[in-house]
Amino acid sequence: MSTDIKIKIFADGADKAGMLEMHQKPYIKGFTTNPTLMSKAGIKNYREFALDILKVISDRPISFEVFSDDFSEMERQALEISSWGDNVFVKIPITNTRQISSEDLISRLVRTGVKVNVTAMMTLEQVQQVATVVKGGPPCYVSIFAGRIADTGRDPVPIMATAVELLKQCPNAELIWASPRELLNIFQAEQIGCHVITATNDILKKLSLVGKDLTEFSLETVKMFYDDAKKAGYQL
């Protein structure tokens, strides 16, 4: 792990063993989850899982997401999730599935003192909208899914850089570069002044490669191909 990395790295996942492993790493400054990751991890009881994890992860921010499509039920869930700990942030999607803005809900939660993590954002218009609502409230996160933006063939860096500027009006808000696709994204995010980047364990495990000699890495790759072919017993 390079000590030169200044951006906050949050571990993204819902596998208990993986989360506890990352909790042992001092460079992991927080945690994020979502219903998709939790479902893939085989979690059946949302509340039970969250409260169990919070017995250990109580010293760093951790985000849990609401999972209703109805704003009144989202609000009820958000208030309960928020009550689980001072380090808990509540993920609120920027809209519901009918593309109705969550702005009013976010505003109510912020006024109540709930720490929100506004998620699934991809446009600067959404960032400006949220900035207006959360300004002056409790600490919060604004999560832009830069990786998904990149999946569309667009360069996310200019969008994220502009978002950094937009959020300067909200000192209580930190920008998250969400859904990175490769380790390089950590350095791209840091270079533009992004506050936080989330990363899954498979990306985080590549941190040991930072600064690795490329000639040495090339040789290791050649050896890998040779050893795998040998083990497979290939012949021509």
CATH of 8-209, one of 3.30.365.10, 3.20.20.70, 3.40.50.970, 3.10.20.30: 3.20.20.70
Tokens 């699934």 sit on residue: 120
Each domain of the chain, given as residue ranges in start order, spans 8-209
In tens digits, the chain (236 residues) has pLDDT values of 555 899 999 999 999 999 999 999 999 999 999 999 999 999 999 999 999 999 999 999 999 999 999 999 999 999 999 999 999 999 999 999 999 999 999 999 999 999 999 999 999 999 999 999 999 999 999 999 999 999 999 999 999 999 999 999 999 999 999 999 999 999 999 999 999 999 999 999 999 999 999 999 999 999 999 999 999 999 99
The H or E element that residue 67 is part of is: none
Beta strands, E only, the chain: 8-12, 28-32, 62-65, 88-93, 116-121, 140-144, 173-177, 196-199
Give yes or no for a contact between 121 and 145, defined as CB atoms under 8 angstroms apart: yes
Give yes or no for a contact between 66 and 92, defined as CB atoms under 8 angstroms apart: yes
**Predicted TM-score of the model (pTM):** 0.94
